[in-house]
Chain A
Amino acid sequence: MKFDTPATTNPIDQLKVIGKPTDRIDGPLKTTGTAPYAYERHDVVQNQAYGYMVGSAIAKGRIASIDVKAAKAAPGVLAIVTADNAGKLAKGSFNTAKLLGGPDIEHYHQAIAVVVAETFEQARTAANLVRIDYVPTKGVFELAAAKDSAKAPEANAFSGPPDTAAGDFAGAFAAAPVQLDAVYTTPDHAHVMMEPHASIAAWNGDKLTIWTSNQMIAWGVGDVAKTLGIPVENVRLDSPFIGGGFGGKLFVRSDALLAALGARAAGRPVKVALPRPLMINNTTHRPATIQRIRIGAARDGKITAIGHETWSGDLPGGGAELAANQTRLLYAGANRMTATRLAVLDLPEGNAMRAPGEAPGMMALEIAMDEMAEKLGLDPIEFRALNDTQVDPEHPERPFSQRQLVECMRIGAERFGWSKRNPKPGSVREGRWFVGTGVAAAFRNNLLTKSAARVRLDGRGTVTVETDMTDIGTGTYTIIGQTAAEMMGVPLEKVVVRLGDSSFPVSAGSGGQWGANNSTAGVYAACVKLREAVAQKLGFNSEEAVFADASVRAGNRSVPLAEAARDKEIIAEDAIEYGDLDKKYQQSTFGAHFVEVGVDVATAEVRLRRMLAVCAAGRILNPKSARSQVIGAMTMGAGAALMEELAVDKRLGFFVNHDLAGYEVPVHADIPHQDVIFLEETDPISSPMKAKGVGELGICGVGAAVANAIYNATGVRVRDYPITLDKLLTELPQTG
C-alpha cells in the first residue's frame, strides 16, 4: 500500500480497540518468567555448548601472539576460535569496528577469541587461560584534545548535511542587542540494557540459525551473511523477546558472530552472552559531545540569530553524534547555522543510543534557551512561545504536519503550577533543601520507513499477525494486536501476534521511535488486503463490508468472520510504503518537560521531587504503554542529567566504569512519581494510523529541565553534564 496522500477516515478511527489503555498481551509471560529471551532457549536446539568471549586488553595496536595451549587443554573445552582460525570474515555494513579483532586491535575489549566448552564454568575458566602478547600503539582518546582536528563528516541517510545555513548568522548575531555564547558538554553514555547481548547459534549444513536479541532483524540477517560471506537466504534470526535495546541492539554484535563461529568450530550449537563487565567497551555507546550555542535576540525576545556547533568523536569510518540537528527546526529566527564535526578517537565504537542527536543536543539547547530567557527578563515558557514556528525555518514553504509545542508548554504549566514559581534563583528554601523548578521543550522527528506484515485468518476466527518487527519493551505486541483487532472487527483476545523472526515479512524494526507508527501501518495495509479477500470469499462488496463483532456485514446480511476461513486459512501480506509527504511536510513530535528538584543546602545532593511531561505525538495507540515509554525516557534523561558518565582512561583508552556498579543509572530511590499528559492529536499526514513515534520524545529535553530546575534552586549554572554535587558544592548560596 502506497501512502502518498493524507489519510481520510478509515477503520482505525473507530477507536474500539486502538487508543484504549490496554494491558500488554505479553504481560502474563513477562511477569511469570515464561517469556523466552535469547540465552534461555533450551528448547530450540539440543546439545548446546557454552561460548565465552575474550576481550582485548589494549585499545589500539596488534596481537603479537596468542597462546591457546593451556586453554585448549582445560577440562571441557571443545573449540577456540580466534582471527587465526575463523576463516575470512568481512565487516558488517552497520559495524564500524570488526566484531572479531586480531591481529589488529581497534578498541579495548574488542572480541579476539571465543572459548567453547561443555559448561559455562569451564568456558569461563578456559577463557582466562588464553595468553595474549600485545604490541600497543598510541591512540587518541580525549575529545577535547582532538576537537581541533575534527572534520565535517560525510552525510548519510539519517544525518543531513554537516553544515547548514540560512540568512546571515554572523552578521545578525553580531548585531543582536542580547546575546548568548556558551559551550556545553555531554559525556559518553552507555545503553546498559538489562539483558546482556546474547545469542544461540546452530548450523544445519550451510544454513545458520541464530536465536538472538536484536532490534532490527533484516539488518541483522544482512550483516551476519555479509560478515560470514554466506548467502542471506542461509541465515535466519529469531528474536521474539528483547531485554532492552535503546539502540545498543540495532546491529549484530560479537555475541552473534562468536556463537556462529564457535558453533561451526565445535560442530554443535553454541550460546554466548556478553559478560556484563565486557559489554560497555565491547559494544557501542552514545558519544560525548562538545557543543557551542550562540543565540542573538532583539530586546522584545524575538530570536534573530541562532547557531549550534557540535563536536564528537568515533573510530575511523564512524559517524558523528548529530547534536545540532534539532536546532534547524525547533525555533524561529531568520539567520541560522549549524555545524557538525567529527574527530577520530580510538575509544570503543560510538553509535546510536535512544534519540541519537536530539538527546544530547536538547540537553544543551534547552539550557541555552533558559539562559537566554533570563538575559531577556522573560519567562522561559513565554520566550519559547515567542519564537515558535509552524514552518521549517530554513524552508518556510514547508509546514509542520502538526506542531503543538506551545500547547504542551501551556497545559504543562497549568498542571504543574508554573505560575507559583519564583523566578529568582536560590530563593526558595524548604528545611534542608533549596527548591527549584525547570522547564524544557521536547522535540524529536517522526521518521517514515517501509514496513510489511502478513495476516492470517483461520476457521476459528483467530487472526494471526506475522512480521519481523521487534518488541524491545515498547509494547509492540499489544499495539500490533490492537491494530489487527480494530481492522478485522475482533476482540484483542482473538489476535495472535508473532514477531522477531526473519522468516516473517520485513518490518521497520525498532529504532528512532519509528517502530510503532510504521509497523502498525504495515499491519493496517496487510489487514486491508485480508478484508478484501474475506469480503470476496463471503460475497460482499469490500467497499461496503463492515467488520465488527467478529462478523462481516453489509445491508441486512451478516456472516461470522470465521466462516470465510472455514475451508481454508486466508493469508494476506502487504507493506506500507511512503510517498513524499515527509518531504512536503516536516513531521516531528513535541513536548514539554517540567521538573522540580530539591538540592541539599549542605551537600548539594540533588533529589528529583516532581516530573511531568506533556506530549503531542499524533494518535496514541495504547496510552498505557505509551505512557510507560515516556516515563522510561524521562528516567533515562534524569540519569543523563545527574549521574551517567562513562569515565575515559585517557592513557589506556577505555571506559573505566564498565559495569552497573561503576556506571550509575537511576534506581527506584532516585525517581519520584511521574506524570504524563498526551494531547489530543491525530496526524493524517504521517500514516493511516495517524500516529507518530513517542518512545524517544520523552528523553529529549528532560535533562535540561533538570539542569534548569537546579539553576532555579541554587543559582548555579552547570553546563557540563552530569550535574554531580562536586560541580555545585562550592557555588551554593551561603546559608546560615
Chain B
Amino acid sequence: MPSSSDFTRRDVLIVGAASVVATAAPNIAHGQVPASAAPIIAGAPVMSKVSLNVNGGIREVELDMRATLLDALRENLQLTGTKKGCDHGQCGACTVIVNGRRINSCLTLAVMHQGETITTIEGLGTPDNLHPMQAAFIKHDGYQCGYCTPGQICSAVAMLEEIKAGIPSHVSTDLTSAPQDTNEEYRERMSGNICRCGAYSNIVEAITEVAEGRA
C-alpha cells in the first residue's frame, strides 16, 4: 500500500490498469496518462461477453474484463475443480488444457479465449467414470491433500501428448530425435506443478503406468 499521499508511477500503472477508478485518483490527470488514452469513466466495471467451449459444451458468460480464465471457471462457471494456489503462475494448480495445450489459467484473461476449447479436470472424468490418469493417481496414491491434484492430472495428460508430438524439453538430449517417455522427462516436464505434500514419486509412477497403457 502507498504510505504517502503522493502517487508514485507504480500507483498510476496499477490504477491505470484497473481502468475504472479514475475519479478516485484525480492525480492521473496530470499528464501521466498517454494522450491517446480514452477518457476513463467511473462507474460499472467494463463487462464483456465471452463464449467458451468448456468440456464439450458452449458456455456464454458475461464477466469483468479483468477476470482471469481461472476466476471465470471457478467463480462464473462454478467449475471449482481448477484450483487457485498462487494466482501468479508459480504453482500450476490452475492448469487446464486449452486447444490441446496445458496452460496456467491464472495467467490469462478469460476474454482472450473467445471460442476456444477448454478442458478442465471435470471434463476428463467423473467419480463414476474416471479418466485413466485419474484412476492411476488413485491407485498410486499420487496425491495427499488433493489441492494440486487436478492441475497435476491435467498437466500430466497434456504432457504425455507433448512427448508424443515430439516437443523437446530441457532434459532431452537430442533435439532432432523424438523425446522418450522416461522418468527424467516426466519429472522435468511436470516441474511446473508443485505438490507441497510431496507426492512426486507416486505421481510419476501413475503417469508411467498411463503412458505404458497399463491403466
Q: Which residues of A contact B (CB under 8 A)?
A: 23-24, 26-37, 39-40, 42, 54-55, 57-58, 69-71, 73-76, 119-122, 125-126, 128-134, 191-196, 241-246, 273, 275-277, 472-475, 624-625, 627-629, 631-636, 659-661, 665-669, 671-674
Contact = CB atoms under 8 A, between A and B. Distances in A.
B139 A23 contact: yes
B155 to A, nearest CB: 10
Closest 8 CB pairs of A and B: A33-B81, A635-B198, A243-B147, A473-B145, A30-B146, A473-B144, A632-B198, A40-B80
A665 B125 contact: no
Contacts of B2: 131-132
Given A75-B44, A125-B21, A133-B3, A672 B145 contact: no
Contacts of B85: 194-196, 276, 660
Contacts of B67: 119-121
A202 B1 CA distance: 28
B54 to A, nearest CB: 13
Nearest to A472: B145
Contact of B24 (A119, A129, A672): A129
B23 to A, nearest CB: 7
Nearest to B76: A119
Contact of B20 (A125, A244, A273, A668): A125
A669 B80 CA distance: 28
A24 B202 CA distance: 14
B8 interface: no
A273 B74 CA distance: 13
Given A242-B145, A628-B144, A669-B191, A70 B90 contact: no
A375 to B, nearest CB: 34
B148 to A, nearest CB: 5
B86 A276 contact: yes
B195 interface: yes
A628 B198 CA distance: 8
Interface centre among A129, A193, A246 (most CB of B within 10 A): A129
6 contacts: A75-B42, A121-B67, A194-B83, A194-B197, A276-B86, A668-B191
A191 B134 CA distance: 27
B200 A666 contact: yes
Chain B at the A interface: SS class: loop
Contacts of A122: 45, 64
Interface string B13-32: 01100101101110000000
Nearest to A41: B80
Interface of B: 1-5, 14-15, 18, 20-21, 23-25, 42-45, 64, 66-67, 71, 74-75, 78-88, 90-91, 93, 120-122, 124-128, 130, 134-135, 137-139, 141, 143-150, 153, 183, 186-188, 190-205
Contacts, number: 246
Given A73-B23, A244-B197, A631-B198, 15 more contacts: A23-B138, A23-B141, A30-B143, A31-B138, A33-B81, A33-B83, A75-B43, A125-B18, A194-B83, A246-B196, A276-B88, A473-B146, A667-B190, A667-B200, A668-B200
B145 A636 contact: no
Contacts of A245: 145
B122 A661 contact: no
Contact of B93 (A42, A75, A194): A194
Contact of A631 (B23, B148, B201): B201
Contacts of B23: 73
Given A32-B125, A194-B93, A659-B90, A665 B18 contact: no
Contacts of A39: 84
Nearest to A66: B1
Nearest to A190: B196
Contacts of A36: 80
Nearest to A671: B200
Contact of A128 (B14, B121, B141, B202): B14
